[in-house]
Amino acid sequence: MSILKSWSQKFLFTDFYQLTMSQVYFDYNIHEIEVQFDYFFRSYPNYGSHQAGFCIFAGLETFFEWLSQAKPKKQEIEFLKSLKNNSLKPLFKKNFLTWLKDIDFSTLNIEAIPEGRVVHPHVPVVSIKGPFALAQIIETPLLNILNYQTLIATKAARIKEAAKGQIVIDFGLRRAQGFGGNAGTRGAIIGGVDFSSNTGTCFCLGLTPKGTHAHSLVQAFIALGYSEEEAFWAFAKTFPDNCILLIDTINTLESGLPNAIKTFKKLKTLGKNPIGIRIDSGDLAYLAVQCYKELKKAGFENCVIVLSNQLDELVIHQILTQIEQEAQEYNLNPKEIISKLVFGVGTRLITSAGSCSLDGVYKLTGVKTKNSWKPALKISDSPAKTLIPGDKKTYRLIDTRGKAMADLICLKKEHPFDKEKFTIFHPQDSKIFRTLYKKEILKADLLQKPIQQNGKIVYEFPSLIEIKKQREQDLKELDQGVRRLINPHIYHVSLSEKLCHLREKLIKNYRNKTLTVKHSLD
């Protein structure tokens, strides 16, 4: 069977050890005990010379699409049945595979932060409660889907911020990881990209695909004995209402631009307005200024100027900075030029260049025995890797300026705002804390929502437009320092007093080799 069919093996789209561990749980009869796993990430993407100060969560609906289609197929069970151990006997036991073929992922209770929301390290983004083996098996697809779309949504949000509201188009498909490009386009759209050239995904998501033309069009016309101008005119005749011309195949200012202007004048005589030009090489800021100057002179000051070629948030930021300075040397208004720009972003968006993976993890945080939940801990030498145990909820605290001041993680059943004054703690170091007064807080926004409960989806997945509004709202609530492209201010993620104390106690017990705590979590 071909690699192209791998996508259809949805149940098997997982790491093998999830299945061998499930066999162990089955043999120990703990495969159906209730457990809790949390999905969270530990740090913002660090692109080397710059680092994100927030992430945009994406991938949740895709994960649920996977979940709804992940019931094992007969051939998947047959494959597992065919595997042998090192004594050449069947690796998996018959009664386990019989149980496995009928598993039902809808029995998992799932809470999550909605897509498009700003999210921060340590905050549980998705929490899964349900039968142990089921919650274990979904680890890999959950991480795969949420890590990557969140990574790309975050990169897209940064690029859109740098673009100061100008349109951004995803051109990344050719440098994506195979079909992963489809998920990348969805993440990019959630993060703030306006359009994509990925035609199949646009079809599937109800979007309008966008594009201009390639150098090969001009090259082919020239090889056939035509000129660049004739190539442009061929394009303009076919798309008189949608004419954007790529002007850097020969020489941007000496050939492409004058030929484009000639073409636009001819279009004008047909009563059509050209849309614009694209520049894909050279000093993009300088060329944008020069092209705007000539276009304006020729009466085409409304043309858009699409820029592409290894763009990312820093390159775009620098282009805008340079235009601000350079435009004035030609007595042009830089704001006018910038308002014409469109950014085509490819490789560095779809790969999140500089930080090509999100360190999202999926960790066991609780186990239910005899009807009471016990928090599960994993200690690490690195405090940042020690888990936040138990069943939790998170509030985003909005201050009286309307700005997000902190995300407060607390125990599910506590009421942190009962008192006029309360203390919040650093997520790794309980010696660092801060007292807050209720009156300082305008709003406490509960981030996690129930998504799947008692076998049913209880959540209406928002449209991409609604997700976009949520993202814009969340970004507005962030301080400018946190939104900064380089060296952003670190946003506060804190623990409630009760949660901090529970964790401290568990760590102490753990260090005393007691390793389990007697009290149940409530």
Of 57-65, 117-125, 424-432, 479-487, the window that binds a second copy (rule: CB under 8 A) is 57-65
What is the residue-wise DSSP string for 168-195? EEE--GGGS-TTHHHHHHHHHHHHT--E
- Does the protein bind a second copy through residue 145 (CB under 8 A)? yes
Of 39-47, 372-380, 422-430, 484-492, the window that binds a second copy (rule: CB under 8 A) is 372-380
Q: How far is it, in rounded angstroms, from Cα 441 to Cα 444?
A: 7
- CB nearer a second copy, residue 75 or residue 339: 75
Among residues 43, 106, 107, 219, the one that binds a second copy under rule CB under 8 A: 219
- Does the protein bind a second copy through residue 275 (CB under 8 A)? yes
> Do the bridges between strand 404-411 and strand 493-496 make them parallel or antiparallel, or are there none, so unpaired?
parallel
- Does the protein bind a second copy through residue 468 (CB under 8 A)? no
Beta-carbon contacts of 395 under 8 Å, excluding residues fewer than 6 positions away, are 407, 408, 410, 416, 444, 445, 446, 447
Number of residues engaging a second copy in binding (CB under 8 A): 126
Q: Kindly state the smallest distance separating residue 121's Cβ from a second copy, in Å.
A: 17
- Does the protein bind a second copy through residue 235 (CB under 8 A)? yes
- Does the protein bind a second copy through residue 46 (CB under 8 A)? no
Q: Kindly state the smallest distance separating residue 240's Cβ from a second copy, in Å.
A: 8
**Helix axes of 139-162 and 60-68: crossing angle, nearest 10 degrees:** 150
- Does the protein bind a second copy through residue 209 (CB under 8 A)? yes
Q: Which residue in this structure is represented by tokens 């705002």?
A: 417
What is the residue-wise DSSP string for 497-519? HHHHHHHHHHHHHHHTT--S-SS
Residue 9, H or E segment: none
Give the tokens for residue 124: 């549980």
- CB nearer a second copy, residue 398 or residue 462: 462
The binding track of 167-206 with respect to a second copy, each residue x by CB under 8 A or -, is ----x-xxxxxxxxxxxx-x----------xxxxxxxxx-
Q: Kindly state the smallest distance separating residue 396's Cβ from a second copy, in Å.
A: 27
The b-or-e profile of 412-439 (16+ CB within 10 A means b, else e) is: eeeebeeeeebebbbbbeeeeeeebeee
- Does the protein bind a second copy through residue 86 (CB under 8 A)? yes
Give the tokens for residue 212: 């201009």
- Does the protein bind a second copy through residue 347 (CB under 8 A)? yes
Q: Kindly state the smallest distance separating residue 252's Cβ from a second copy, in Å.
A: 10
Q: List the beta bridge partners of residue 406.
A: 397
On whether the CB atoms of residues 479 and 403 are closer than 8 A, the answer is yes
- CB nearer a second copy, residue 486 or residue 515: 515
Q: How far is it, in rounded angstroms, from Cα 263 to Cα 260?
A: 5
Q: Kindly state the smallest distance separating residue 408's Cβ from a second copy, in Å.
A: 25
Of 19-27, 39-47, 97-105, 492-500, the window that binds a second copy (rule: CB under 8 A) is 19-27
- CB nearer a second copy, residue 178 or residue 402: 178
- Does the protein bind a second copy through residue 49 (CB under 8 A)? no
Q: Kindly state the smallest distance separating residue 61's Cβ from a second copy, in Å.
A: 8
In 3D space, the residue among 303, 337, 306 whose CA is nearest the CA of residue 320 turns out to be: 337
Give the tokens for residue 357: 């993976």
Q: Kindly state the smallest distance separating residue 81's Cβ from a second copy, in Å.
A: 12
Q: Kindly state the smallest distance separating residue 204's Cβ from a second copy, in Å.
A: 5
- Does the protein bind a second copy through residue 383 (CB under 8 A)? no
